[in-house]
Amino acid sequence: MTMNKFAKVGYFMIKLLTEHEIDQSVGGEPQIWFIPNTGLLYRDKDCPELIGQYEKDSQNMLVQFQKLIDLF
């Protein structure tokens, strides 16, 4: 799994926990630190376009997740 995919999954999980109030100690806006194999560390504030895409993708995934839950 790439760092980008892992960050996207983590972003979604925080959004899911927040949306469904599953764990009160988790929530708010996700903070992401990228730790590449080479080069400098960078964080979510260094790449707002990427975080914007994570937000858009997470909203779509939350809709799909809710549809799955509604099946039960």
- The answer to whether residue 49 is domain-embedded is yes
- The answer to whether residue 25 is domain-embedded is no
**How confident is the model over 15-68, as pLDDT tens digits?**
998 888 877 777 778 888 998 889 999 998 999 999 999 999 999 999 999 999
- Give every CB contact of residue 4 below 8 A, 6+ residues apart in sequence: 50
Question: How many domains does one find in the chain?
Answer: 1
Give residue 3's pLDDT.
Answer: 87
Residue 52 belongs to what domain range?
3-20+30-70
Give residue 26's pLDDT.
Answer: 73
- The answer to whether residue 65 is domain-embedded is yes
Among residues 5, 17, 18, 1, the alpha carbon closest in space to that of 50 is found at 5
- The answer to whether residue 60 is domain-embedded is yes
Give residue 11's pLDDT.
Answer: 92
- The answer to whether residue 46 is domain-embedded is yes
User: Is-above-0.75 flag for pTM?
Assistant: yes
Whole-angstrom CA distances from 9 to 2, 34, 38, 40, 41 are 11, 13, 22, 22, 19
71 — phi, psi (to 5°)? -70, -25
Give residue 30's pLDDT.
Answer: 86
Mean pLDDT of 7-20: 90
- The answer to whether residue 57 is domain-embedded is yes
- The answer to whether residue 62 is domain-embedded is yes
